[in-house]
Chain A
Amino acid sequence: MTVAVPVLNLIVPEGSGLHLSTYTVTLLGKYLCYALLALALDLVWGAVGILSLGHGAFFALGGYAMGMYLMRQIGSRGVYGNPILPDFMVFLNWKELPWYWYGFDHFWFAIVMVMLVPGLLAFCFGWFAFRSRVTGVYLSIITQAMTYALMLAFYRNEMGFGGNNGLTDFKDILGFSLQEDATRVGLFLASAVALAGGYVLTRWVVTTKLGRVVVAIRDSEDRARFLGYRVEHYKLWMFVLSAMLAGIAGALYVPQVGIINPNEFSPLNSIELVIWVAVGGRGTLYGAAFGAFLVNYAKTYLTAALPEIWLFALGALFVVVTLYLPRGLVGLIERNRAARETS
């Protein structure tokens, strides 16, 4: 697919039946970001057993970091033509750039921030939470509170992130125009590479000794602790790694959809993310990525074709998957295969 999509978009002429529209490329690129996000969640939920209801926060923070870079790239092409300040700051009568915007005119700095900011938040949050042994549903609920608090904060104009409009009207990235088909394909490729890299990394993490310790923690935290493992350290670093992956997913997502706003922090988004993983198959990594594709494809299709039905479908999906498919679609397929082999 990584090869086919760019070829079909760029080389196959537009009239051809095999031509992929740029819209579709962008859509697929978006799904790739979601898949990477799902992978990140599956690393903590599937492998470590932490159900985070706040992973959307890490995704959004990565997105905002990238969005800030893209904002700075607009330069004087904004509506107000201010070379330093983004439009929304001019609109709010701000005179100078807030300190936390410094450095975002460099791409490398933005990339570092994309991983550092979510990582740091995850570190602080996890350090407190795991050390005092907040577990299970309590952890889920406070992660949800975390993303909710961030959402409320980012809705404020005073925060300097564009209030409820968020960051938008991006022009180009690294000098390439975001309107160009080639740039879109480039972003798609970057997302595909990131997803592949993310998969290799997470697969590696769960298959090494580290991964086995982590699974042991998931299955019996106390036993692992008695064996002498510093449980909270393992959990913390897995959480941080996962948050960084989510941040990267967000950073790739933003230039493709062209906007980042506080809605990405809404608890609903984070919970929807959980269902992608649950549908695909929790703890399988590839299942999570697959689930993200499937649910989002269904969402794109249903919200366009039958908008009334979408929430019914999503709601029913939650119920059916938890009741009948505890291991997701992957689990279903594996069970079928196992059944066939034994017969």
Chain B
Amino acid sequence: MQTVNFHHHPWHRSFPIGLGWVLMLAILTAQAADPTSGQATLGKVLEGLTVRSFSQKKAAVKNLAAVDHPRVLPVMKALLEGDLYYRKIGRQVLILRSRDAEYAIYDAVTGESLGSGDKKGLSKIIINNQMRVILRDAIARLSLASENAGVRLAAVEEMFDRLSPGDAKLLRDMRETERHPEVLEAIDTGLALEALDSGDENRRLAAVDTLSRSVNRTVRNRLKQLLESNLDGSPREASAKVRAAARKALAAINQRLEMYAMVQTGFFGLSLGSVLLLSAIGLAITFGVMGVINMAHGEMMMLGAYTTYLVQQLMPGWIDASVIVAIPAAFVVSGLMGIAVERGVIRYLYGRPLETLLATFGISLLLQQLVRTLISAQNVAVENPAWMSGAWEVNAALFLTYNRLYILAFSLLVFAALFLILRQTDFGLQIRAVSQNRAMARAIGIRSNWVDAATFGLGSGIAGVAGVALSQLTNVGPNLGQSYIIDSFMVVVFGGVGNLWGTLVGALGLGLVNKLLEPWAGAVMAKILVLVFIILFMQKHPRGLFPQRGRSAED
């Protein structure tokens, strides 16, 4: 098996577009520790922590700081946070992480998971303030020396707030060997912050110039301070040149921040759009291709979300992988339900769209109540896997949360898959044939009944997959589907029924417009405006953005 070392890889930069085996592999291997030679030493040093005497423990912490082993940093952090324990019998040192009512237990030396349990038979390693100081310092140094650029970057940026002369020396030393451009930039920023305090005007000017490239909040505050006045009214910064430069630098920073804010809004818009796309894309098949108004579409998504919940219940120790498992499971559950609905009800109603609307609405009520009766009327808790939490910090002003990034990528993936199915497979060809001319399709030997059922199953299955994604964003409850059904219809109608590209453009476009309106109109008003916009748009273009042409368009 290929070894993917999670810690040494700047994975937040080369974030993979697709979900799937690559990720699974990364997650699974990340949990396994890499055996290194220093392990025995580390074990010995850790044993020194399991004594009562504080002075002995202090010595052990100092020894620990000297050990060269990748586990030293996590162990130190755990010690600082009070998560380090040892077994009263056998003196094995453990890291405990609280999870619900229990604790997840890891071996401190290897990092291996030892399952979960309570604190029985364990003793906490207690530290005093002296040791805390040593630990913090060691952690900072270790972080600066870390092989992970992200850790180094965070360590440097953490220093900005309280730069001591010692820190400046540390940064200068580090600058000699550092190769990573972003970390280098952060080091320069840190050094510039320090240079602001120097007496040399030219150095201060150069520092302001360096700082004008940053968007860090501390930097911005320091530049602002340069422009402030003392209590007696005299400017805090004596040199007029430096003040002018600082003013210019601040303007440049603010402009850049505004730009990042726009990018952020754009991202939120695309992210909302991707949720719309996911919820509308299945509908684009059942409504757009088959002409069936499936009001139970939202409930198919709800089933998908509940499938995620059930999968997590079945594999509690594997939350990270559960979402990946839930995707095909939800597809199957919702798809089968869709086939059942098609065979049971919809096949009698082809060509009568208003009736399908009523009947499927009834089905949606039935499914909602079924979930209420079988599971609960309350929302259930679906956990986010570790790899979906957190955010990709592009820079200090721009955070892109992973779950939204993944869902954006995922929705595009689903779109591409569906597009390929419709365009490139025999099944897709049959779907299109039946939707365009049923009688002709039957005449050339296509089993239209089978195609109808499979198409509806496909649309419903995709709704289920959308539900998996939604379960990572919103509450999972019996009403989940209802909140999306109107929006989904709007997207499909807006984009032009029967046109997948229209659905894509419609979803992302409406998401963007919604988020652009939000800052000045408020969330609810933005939504209302979008709805009104669509209603008005429909007057001008009753067939949507990309109207379907040809014979089948006019019925």
Which of A's residues lie within 8 Å of B, judged by CB? 51, 125, 128-129, 131-138, 140-142, 144-146, 148-149, 152-153, 155-156, 267-268, 271, 274-275, 278, 308, 311-312, 314-319, 321-323, 326
| One of B345, B358, B366, B531 near A312 (C-beta < 8 A) | B366
Answer whether residue B417 sits at the interface, using C-beta atoms and an 8 A cutoff: no
Flag whether B534 is at the interface (Cβ < 8 A). yes
Place the interface of chain B in its size category: 35 or more
**B539 contact from A134, A148, A156, A319, Cβ within 8 A:** A134
Answer yes or no: B361 CB below 8 A from chain A CBs.
Answer: yes
B293 cross-chain contacts in A, Cβ below 8 A: 137, 140-141
Q: Which of A152, A316, A317 has the most CB of B within 10 A?
A: A152
- Cα A137 to Cα B538 in complex, Å, equals 12
Chain A residues touching B, majority SS: helix
B362 at the interface (CB under 8 A from A): yes
Question: Given A136-B354, A315-B369, 5 more contacts at CB 8 Å?
Answer: A141-B490, A145-B486, A145-B535, A271-B361, A323-B349
Cβ of B2 within 8 Å of any chain A Cβ, yes or no, is: no
Contact B362 A148 (CB under 8 A): no
* Among all A-B residue pairs, the 7 with the closest Cβ atoms: A318-B362, A315-B365, A315-B366, A311-B369, A149-B531, A322-B359, A128-B539
Q: Are A137 and B365 in contact (CB under 8 A)?
A: no
Inter-subunit contact B361/A129 (CB<8 Å): no
**Complex Cα spacing A155 to B528, Å:** 11
A-B contact pairs, 8 of them (CB 8 A): A142-B534, A144-B486, A146-B535, A153-B528, A311-B372, A315-B365, A318-B362, A322-B362
Residues of A within 8 A of B372 (CB): 308, 311
Within 8 A of A (CB), among B520-545: 524-525, 527-528, 531-532, 534-536, 538-540, 542
Whole-angstrom distance between the Cβ of B81 and the nearest chain A Cβ: 43
CA distance A318 to B349 in the complex (A): 13
Interface status of B309 (Cβ within 8 A of chain A): no
Cα(A152)–Cα(B521), bound, Å: 13
On chain A, the residues within 8 Å of B345 by CB distance are: 319, 323
Contact residues, B207-263 vs A (CB, 8 A): none
Question: Is B534 within 8 A of A145, CB to CB?
Answer: yes
Closest A-chain residue to B349, C-beta based?
Answer: A322
Q: Is B357 at the interface (CB under 8 A from chain A)?
A: yes
Q: Does B493 contact A (CB under 8 A)?
A: yes
Contacting A141 at CB < 8 Å: which of B373, B493, B524?
A: B493
- Which chain B residues lie closer than 8 Å to A136 at the CB level? 353-354
Give the Cβ gap from B326 to chain A, nearest Cβ, in Å: 26
A144, A148, A318: the one within 8 Å of B359 (CB): A318
With both beta carbons as reference points, the residue of chain A lying nearest to B292 in the complex is identified as A137
* A315 surroundings in chain B (CB, below 8 A): 362-366, 369
- Check B348 for interface membership: any CB of A closer than 8 A: yes
| A116, B359: Cα distance in complex, Å | 34
Judge if B368 is at the interface, Cβ distance under 8 Å. Answer: yes
Q: How far is the CA of A120 from the CA of B188 in the complex (A)?
A: 66
Residues of A within 8 A of B534 (CB): 142, 145
Residues of B within 8 A of A275 (CB): 358, 362
Q: Is the CB of A142 within 8 A of B363?
A: no
Is there contact, CB below 8 Å, between A128 and B490?
Answer: no
